[in-house]
Amino acid sequence: MSNPWEEISLDDYEKHMSLYSVRQLQAMNSIMQEQFSSYPAETAMVLGIAGGNGLEHVSPGKFHKVYGVDINADYLSAVSQRYTQLSGVLECLHIDLINEVEKLPKAQLLIANLLIEYIGCGAFQKAVLQTAPQYVSCVIQINTDEKQWVSESPYLHAFDRLDEVHHQMEVKALTAAMKETGYLLILQKSYPLPNGKALVRLDFKKNEV
């Protein structure tokens, strides 16, 4: 059976994420600006690139290679068309992170926003080990109320199958998994959303000991 993310149109995804009642696309854009500028890395990888939100913050003067990884080939086509100014820097990779993790190249900075929920901690640990970054910056969604984890919207039914692959993430569990993988927490920052949810950014650095 196909991964649910291969069936969700980019248009539905982006319209849902940018709704005033959701505002995750806008929040993620701001977070990615911080992620790209925070650390001394010349190579970066974004897991779950979707439509490329945030790539406008990539400075070709700083990065000589940025990999955009996704399981949905249509998303990657859209990214390539949208960010022609990153030609020679941006490389899109069509990879299933659960079954094809060995295809990932190395990168100094690994960014994974709202992705770990859909592959699980174990698969993410394998991706980190394969990529061997110096820094890992990821964002998870925390529900601050008892409502469903996908926000109410006219596009809600586009996400019906995500329950098949969704794993609720918690800060403590992810921090423990990353420590086990050899990475220590160096930053934790919360970004409240308008619908009883919050995004939490967790940054890790490779433990050199």
More confident residue, 144 or 125: 125
26 near 192, Cβ under 8 Å?
no
- The DSSP secondary structure of 183-203, one letter per residue, reads EEEEEEEEEE-TTSEEEEEEE
Listed in sequence order, the DSSP H helices in the chain are 10-18, 24-38, 73-82, 116-131, 171-181
177 near 124, Cβ under 8 Å?
yes
> 154 is written with which tokens?
């006219």
Query: Percentage of residues in the chain with pLDDT exceeding 70?
Result: 84
The DSSP bridge pattern shows strands 135-143 and 197-206 to be antiparallel
**Least confidently predicted of 21-30, 69-78, 153-162:** 153-162
Residue 153's nearest CA partner among 200, 189, 197 is: 197
What does the pLDDT average to over 73-90?
95
Amino acid of residue 172: K
Would you tell me which CATH number, out of the four given (3.20.20.70, 1.10.1660.10, 3.40.50.150, 3.30.1330.30), belongs to the domain 4-206?
3.40.50.150
pLDDT in tens, 149-176: 455 554 455 566 666 666 678 899 999 9
What's the pLDDT score for residue 25?
Answer: 77
What's the pLDDT score for residue 60?
Answer: 84
**What ranges do the domains of the chain cover?**
4-206
